[in-house]
Homo-oligomer: A and B are copies of this chain.
């Protein structure tokens, strides 16, 4: 399900691509200048992100502008939420558990 989203985010370069897109849509050639990578390598990273629907591209003249699809990252947030409850419960009640757990 969200397997693709998580594994896409498992790569440093792809996370940086997403961060760059925070400032607005960017073309492939604009992005490639930010990385010590060939254009084809970057193009494949974009394909992974596209496949996970984390980005989409819009034709713009003879280039393609990539932009974020922010909703996808909500999946991460949703997966995270049971853990957030976990650590909230942890901090509120059971401080004495800690001393025994940390050696």
A35 within 8 A of B: no
Contacts of A39 in B (CB 8 A): none
Write out the residue numbers on chain B whose beta carbons fall within 8 Å of the beta carbon of A9: 6, 9-10
In the assembled complex, the CB of A12 is this many whole angstroms from the nearest CB of chain B, namely 6
**A22 CB–B CB distance under 8 Å:** yes
Q: Digit string of A70-85 for contact with B (CB within 8 Å is 1, else 0)?
A: 1101101101101110
4 additional A-B residue pairs with CB within 8 Å, beyond A9-B9, A18-B83, A68-B83: A22-B82, A68-B86, A70-B90, A71-B87
| A interface residues, Cβ below 8 angstroms from B | 3, 6-7, 9-12, 15, 18-19, 22, 56, 58, 67-68, 70-71, 73-74, 76-77, 79-80, 82-84, 86-87, 90, 101, 103
